């Protein structure tokens, strides 16, 4: 091996070591995901959603998604640094599940309010009437789609940017709406059993009917305004 080739090999090794070090530094400095605080007490949504459900749902279930997402992202950064494509692919389901769980629940808590219920106002209401005929028809259509989710999942009201229309969709498990359908999430209803079973047992329709009493339409309206920008 010539001296020039040896120099080039040394340069390549130094570059690879430098890149690996940089990736490790990025991973170490990456801000970890955290469990968002609620703006209301666990018992504030009673009698529609009781305090025990809210406490378990937020402090246990959502917290687990956050913790697992952080662990998975750390493993993914390690796989990137090593150039291990097989490991990167293998981690994709965990990223989708835990990342989706964190995204979905972060939206869900803000979609709820002890001062919620009633009907939306202004531009959101006009969009609902335009796309569904009436607020009641939208509620019925979204409730039906949500109740019909097989196993665990979510019912969603989303915004389709291309058409400027509101759409209703259902997603399985913790699949995030935008990542799965392209719709921007405005309102989500969680129909995993941990969201309602302690209070409503296996009667999902009663839970879905009750949750409309605590929907924060101001938050949904704000999300629509942001989505349209």
Residue whose entry in the numeric block shows the structure tokens 């915004």: 159
Does 133 map to a domain?
yes
Does 209 map to a domain?
yes
* Host domain of residue 158: 122-228
Does 28 map to a domain?
no
Closest alpha carbon to 72 in 80, 62, 60 = 80
pLDDT by 10s per residue, the chain, length 229: 555 544 454 554 554 444 445 445 544 446 899 999 999 999 999 999 999 999 999 999 999 999 999 999 999 999 999 999 999 999 999 999 999 999 999 999 999 999 999 999 999 999 999 999 999 999 999 999 999 999 999 999 999 999 999 999 999 999 999 999 999 999 999 999 999 999 999 999 999 999 999 999 999 999 999 999 9
Does 84 map to a domain?
no
Binding-site sequence positions: 57, 105, 190, 194
Number of domains into which the chain is organized: 1
Question: CATH number for the domain including 183?
Answer: 3.55.40.20
Does 42 map to a domain?
no
Does 104 map to a domain?
no
pLDDT score of 4: 53
Binding-site sequence positions for Mn(2+): 57, 105, 190, 194
Q: How many angstroms separate the CA atoms of 171 and 155, rounded? A: 7
pTM of the predicted protein model: 0.86
pLDDT score of 13: 53
170: CB partners within 8 A, 6+ apart: 145, 146, 148, 149, 153, 154, 155, 156
| Distance spanning both ends of the chain, measured CA to CA | 60
Does 53 map to a domain?
no
Q: How many CB atoms lie within 10 A of CB 3?
A: 7
175: CB partners within 8 A, 6+ apart: 96, 100, 153, 154
Does 184 map to a domain?
yes
């Amino acid at each position: 091996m010539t001296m020039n080739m040896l120099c080039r090999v040394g340069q390549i090794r130094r570059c690879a070591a430098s890149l690996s070090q940089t990736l490790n530094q990025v991973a170490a400095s990456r801000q970890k995901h955290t469990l968002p605080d609620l703006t209301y007490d666990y018992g504030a949504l009673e009698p529609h959603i009781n305090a025990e459900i809210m406490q378990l749902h937020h402090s246990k279930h959502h917290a687990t998604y956050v913790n697992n997402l952080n662990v998975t992202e750390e493993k993914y950064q390690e796989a990137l640094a090593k150039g291990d494509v097989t490991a990167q692919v293998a981690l994709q389901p965990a990223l989708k599940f835990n990342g989706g769980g964190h995204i979905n629940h972060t939206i869900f808590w803000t979609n709820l309010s002890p001062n919620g219920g009633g009907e939306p106002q202004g531009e959101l209401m006009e969009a609902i009437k335009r796309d569904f005929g009436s607020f009641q028809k939208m509620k019925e259509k979204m409730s039906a789609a949500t109740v019909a989710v097989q196993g665990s999942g979510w019912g969603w009201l989303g915004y389709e940017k291309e058409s400027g229309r509101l759409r209703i969709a259902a997603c399985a498990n913790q699949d995030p709406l935008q990542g799965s359908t392209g719709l921007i999430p405005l309102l989500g209803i969680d129909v995993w059993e941990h969201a309602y079973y302690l209070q409503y047992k296996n009667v999902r329709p009663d839970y879905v009917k009750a949750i409309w009493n605590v929907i924060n339409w101001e938050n949904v309206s704000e999300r629509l305004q942001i989505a349209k920008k």
